[in-house]
A = this chain, B = another copy of it.
Amino acid sequence: MPPRTRSGNRRDETARLDVLHAADDLLVEHGFGGLTVEAIAKRAGVAKQTIYRWWPSKVDILLDTLIEDTEKRLPIPTDPPTADTIREYLRAYARFVTEDPAGKVLLTLIAESQHNPATAKTFHERYLGPRREQERAMITAATDAGEITPKLPPDATLDVLLGPIVYCALTNSPIPRTLANTLIGELLGPR
């Protein structure tokens, strides 16, 4: 790797990206156990101090990558929402969580939140909360437009739609193929 150009007294964007990518790569390649600050620093070609200067802990690094990657690879549909766009979102969600490296980051952060209340808090504030807000908007918009008639309030609806997907991903079981269809049919259905 060529020595990166020094940025003087401004934050070095290259270093920031190198760290995010190194964290991502290490997580995928060596699991959370291999994700040490020491290893990230070495892989990114960065001093440990540079990491600690900008991130309180390694989960904050993961959070940053997750936020950026989710926006890119699992966008909330922008079309006027219908049962169909929601179905498509669920399918994308399932793919994200099982196949995308960023999905692995999501599962890791859910996991780490169980071990560490501070992680749980930040994870909520910076990821789960904002994300849920957008998803809720999607549900209520579809409801208001008469596209769907959910059997449960919006948040409960989302828990029921996403919960099984996440649960399957966490327990490493395949996500049943008919799951999205059935849930949408029975829980958002006309009657």
Contact = CB atoms under 8 A, between A and B. Distances in A.
A114 interface: yes
Interface residues of A, number: 43
A56 interface: no
A38 interface: no
Nearest to A106: B114
A4 to B, nearest CB: 20
Given A31-B116, A110-B111, A182-B187, A167 B162 contact: yes
Contacts of A186: 151, 186-187
Count of identical protomers in the assembly: 4
A159 B175 CA distance: 9
Contacts of A3: none
A113 interface: yes
A151 B182 contact: yes
Contacts of A179: 152, 156, 159-160
A26 interface: no
Contact of A115 (B111, B113, B160, B178): B111
Contacts of A187: 182, 186
Nearest to A152: B182
A163 B152 contact: no
B110 A31 contact: no
A165 B164 CA distance: 9
A73 to B, nearest CB: 19
Contact of A168 (B159, B172, B183): B159
